Every structure is written in C-alpha cells, then in structure tokens.
Amino acid sequence: MTTPMFKQEWLESAVAIALEAGEQIMTVYASDEFGVETKDDASPVTAADLASHEVIVKRLKLLTPDIPVMSEESTDIDWNERQHWPAYWLIDPLDGTKEFIKRNGEFTVNIAFIVGDRAVAGVVYAPVLDKCFYGAIARGAWVEHAGTKQQLCSANSDYDGAPRIVGSRSHISPGLEAYLQDTGEHQMKSVGSSLKFCLLAEGEADIYPRLGLTSEWDTAAAQAVLESAGGKVVQFDTGKRLDYNQKEDILNPYFIAYAPHWQACD
C-alpha cells in the first residue's frame, strides 16, 4: 500500500466533520441524562462520546474510503494489522469526558491524520467555547471563533515573564507536582482536554508538561495543531518528538509541549 499524501481539502472536510460531531455532543449536553457508563479501563463514556464517534467514522469513511480510522471508541484493531498502516485517521470523539460530565465546557472533538509515525494534521473543536483549532504540518494552523479566523504562530505572544505552565484540571500527577517544584517561579493554569495544547498554540501559555498517562488519541490532533503553529511536543526522557503507531499499546510516554514563542522551541 502506498502512503497517501494529505490533501488540504481533507483538512477542510475534517473541520466540517468536527463541527457536525460537536452538534451531536451538544444535543446530549443539553439533556438531563448523559447515559454515563464505565469502560474496562475505568474511564467514563457517555451517549455523547458514542454519537460523536458514529458521525466522525461515517463521514471519514465517505471522505477517504481506503484509509483506516481508529477511534477511542473502537480500539479492537489488532496490532498485526495496525502496524502496517502507512496512514490513518486517529480520533477522540469526545476528549475530556470528565469535563463534559462536570459541565464545565472544557471538552473537545479531536480528529488527527497520521502518516508513518507523525500526526501531520489535526482538528480540535470545543463546541461550548465555539472555538475550532486546526492545522497541517508545513501549511499552517488557525483558530476560528465567533465568525473570525486567526492564524496561529509565534507572533501570537510577546510574553517574557515567568513561564505559564498549563496542566490537567482532572489529572494532577505526582510527577507534575515535582516538575513544578523544580521549575521555580511560574504561573499555573489548569484546563481540561486537549485545550492545553491549544493554549500554547494561541500564545496564552508556554509549557505543558504531561507527566502522567495519556493515550495516542488524546494528543494527536492537538499536537498536529501546535506543531503546525511552530511549537513542539517531545518525549520527556528522550527529547524526541512524540510519535504514533510505533508499538502495540497506545499509551504515550511522558512528554512536554512547548509554545511556538517559547525559547525552548529554538
């Protein structure tokens, strides 16, 4: 199988698909019953997760029939098959399910396109915030909000104060606590889901150290957006770029993400 080149029109279509999935999520969000269940890994799943999954998978298969789709809600794809994929879509239909259940609005729809071991394009849509982040490597990154479109780049911030570190609202790990102690003076921001990466891309935060467990679908779309804007995401122990589909399990190593404007990106 030859490796497909990512097409710009696929990014535009993925944005439209994310918006449609967001509508499905908001229908459930507005109801009184989420239908919360617990998966085998003890994480929650709701009717909104499943509705979003169905929309995204259906639309992506229509868009690119020959390219596989892997979703958080369909993880039974054997490694013997997956390791031979030259490219595929990797989605998290509702990233931040705990934030969804808490009704704080900090959840997203994540759609990424993986080529080889790299997330080369991604869409992150936060339906409650009405913000859609998207980008493709070597083509640029943008955010749309309230009818306006802005390109994301290092010029989005001229901040030069103490590092603004962003972390999970629901997952404060001992590793992060130790990292913050070693950092010295800093500002701490807490936010749910892949919006942490998006704060970096917007120039609203500088560093996102994730010293706790995540899965590949949690990070791929937002990593693509951030790197398309000029930032980077590296493995904590090795300094190598966070990669994808290189092993049987889908857990990420610990990593640190840097904003485009931050000196650590140089």
pLDDT at 264: 43
Q: Residue 37's pLDDT is what? A: 72
Give pLDDT, residue 46. 86
The alpha carbon torsion through 22, 64, 122, 177 (nearest 10 deg) reads 80
pLDDT of residue 131: 97
Mean pLDDT of 136-147: 95
Q: How many helices (H) and strands (E) does the chain have?
A: 7, 14
pLDDT score of 265 more than 80: no
Average pLDDT of 65-74?
A: 93
Q: In what order do the strands lie in the sheet with 187-191?
A: 187-191, 164-168, 207-210, 255-258, 232-235
Which pLDDT score is estimated for 262?
77
Average pLDDT over residues 192-219: 94
Q: Residue 17 pLDDT more than 90?
A: yes
Q: Which residue has the higher pLDDT, 262 or 237?
A: 237
